[in-house]
Chain A
Amino acid sequence: MAEYRLTTPLDEKTVRELTVGDVVYLSGTIYTARDEAHIHILEDLRKGREVKIPLKGGVIYHCGPILKREDGGWRVLAAGPTTSTRMNSLEPEFIEKMGIRGIIGKGGMSKQVGEALVKYGAVYLSFTGGAAVLAANGIKAVKGVYYEELGMAEAVWVLEVKEFGPMIVGMDAKGNSLYEEVEAEVDRNILKVKQKLNI
């Protein structure tokens, strides 16, 4: 288990070196993107509209934060990850078309997303679910917002981060998934649990 301190944008070589179980702290810029942002960005692309968010080599964050208006700008109060599986059906195309190198979320993602990570060179980073104030602590400024009309939770917030973490590489670009490893372990444990429960 190695520990990495990385800065965005991420290059393919660095990303491909990461292995499940590694710990990552991230500095630079990350973009929140959950259900609606994925749907709208992909729809805009399909309709030939320009998507101005500079996501190439970028990192998206499955997160719907709480922000507060302050001095004409925004301040992030709480910003933990949301359940990533909801984006399963949208993420492979998103990775391919937007050229992102990292996804931050919780709960892991599907095999199809794992395949896209391998094909295009990206990783899935697990941030502790619910640890919203800890996350906000690593967010230094809100630099902008796209799709603000989608509302606070669903808009794409441009966040400046410093030592954002700790995050665990949950799925890497080599085809490994920590979630799948745990699931396999759980499958092996089920029989034992059933015996304990007398079923």
Chain B
Amino acid sequence: MVSLISKDIIKSTVKELLRLASIELPIDVKKALMDAYEREVENVPKMLLKAILDNIELAEKTGTPMCQDTGVHIVYVKLGDVEVEGLEDAIKEGVAEATATIPLRPNVVHPLTRKNPGTNVGLNMPYIYIDKVKDGFLEITVMPKGAGAENMSALAMLTPAAGLKGVKEFILQTVVKAGGQPCPPGILGVGIGGTADVAMKLAKEALLRPLGSRNPNPEVAKLEEELLEALNGLGIGPMGLGGKTTLLGVNIEVAYTHTASLPVAVNYQCWAARRATARIYPDGRVEYISHKRG
């Protein structure tokens, strides 16, 4: 017998996911920041990374969002072979309630009038991606993303003649141009191929993959490692004030593309790489995958 996953349980799970994501970084990100602190030798980058690590600890201890830019909310849903009630409304209501109770900063405004509804909910925001899968659960991932880093995102529609060199050159120029503005050390999400929209979507999805994981395709994995090592040689460093660590990771996702196209998209993630995932089962059980629930 299939039982219904209620709107209430979806809403409360979204609220909890937003709380967890805003307050506590995933373990892979924390570890990468600690490693970066150890690696730096100069005073300025060491001091900046120490401030970041102190901040992470204080946020967890006080249950406060780690950054005042609690972002806008992109929500990834894997809808398994389960019955759900009012999925999209439940997510929107969860975001609005989390905004009031955690609280989160009301960031969402109309793009032209700049009117702020005060709830972080508006037309097409939170933006929800729903993928149908065959599993016996509903999986929800929230990814709050601040504007400082998101504003450094870039897309290039290269010619096939530009090739791999063109792809590398564009990624390099994007990182150089961004400098200290996206709060480095950050993570580079890269989407290669598809169409303009698919490349951008893949670039963001690449950021859902934990640091240290590699693309299953060996050639793409090699490109990830090559870019990470080389780009850290730029010396932009934490906050653009110099140092060995500009990037904590480079994650690339690929899609087949038109024979006449070579889209490359970059989505820059600041050090506060916030994400949280939970699975809701038809029996009402909720499993938090990304965080140990306190």
In the complex, the answer to whether B179 meets A79 with C-beta atoms within 8 Å is no
In the complex, the answer to whether B237 meets A182 with C-beta atoms within 8 Å is yes
A193 contacts which chain B residues (CB < 8 A)?
Answer: 172, 230-231, 233-234
- B235 interfacial contact with A, CB 8 Å: yes
- A14 interfacial contact with B, CB 8 Å: no
Chain B 53-65 near chain A by CB (<8 Å), digits 1 or 0:
0110011001011
In the complex, the answer to whether A132 meets B65 with C-beta atoms within 8 Å is yes
Q: Which of A156-199 contact B (CB under 8 A)?
A: 166, 168, 170, 178-179, 181-183, 185-186, 189-190, 192-194, 196-199
- A102 interfacial contact with B, CB 8 Å: no
**Contact residue among B66, B226, B231 (Cβ-Cβ distance under 8 Å from A133):** B66
Which of the 9-residue segments B8-16, B81-89, B102-110, B283-291 touches chain A? Answer: B102-110
If over half of A's interface residues share one DSSP class (helix, strand or loop), that class is named, otherwise mixed; here it is: mixed
In the complex, the answer to whether A130 meets B58 with C-beta atoms within 8 Å is no
In the complex, the answer to whether B241 meets A131 with C-beta atoms within 8 Å is no
Asked whether A66 and B104 contact (CB < 8 A) given A186-B235, A189-B235, the answer is: yes
Q: Which of B103-160 contact A (CB under 8 A)?
A: 103-107, 116, 146-148, 151
B74 contacts which chain A residues (CB < 8 A)?
Answer: none
In the complex, the answer to whether B55 meets A182 with C-beta atoms within 8 Å is no
**Contact residue among B47, B103, B233, B235 (Cβ-Cβ distance under 8 Å from A166):** B47
In the complex, the answer to whether A196 meets B230 with C-beta atoms within 8 Å is yes
In the complex, the answer to whether B103 meets A68 with C-beta atoms within 8 Å is yes
Q: How large is the interface on B (under 10, 10 to 19, 20 to 34, 35 or more residues)?
A: 35 or more
* Least CB distance, B134 to chain A, in whole angstroms: 38
In the complex, the answer to whether B233 meets A131 with C-beta atoms within 8 Å is no
B44 contacts which chain A residues (CB < 8 A)?
Answer: 21, 168, 178
Q: Which of B193-249 contact A (CB under 8 A)?
A: 226-227, 229-231, 233-242
Which A-B residue pairs are the 6 nearest by beta carbons?
A: A129-B183, A128-B51, A131-B55, A78-B68, A196-B230, A134-B55
Q: A182-B237, A190-B172 are in contact. List 18 more A-B contacts (CB 8 A).
A: A1-B43, A64-B68, A68-B103, A77-B68, A78-B66, A78-B67, A83-B147, A106-B148, A107-B179, A133-B58, A134-B54, A166-B47, A179-B179, A182-B240, A182-B241, A186-B234, A192-B233, A196-B226
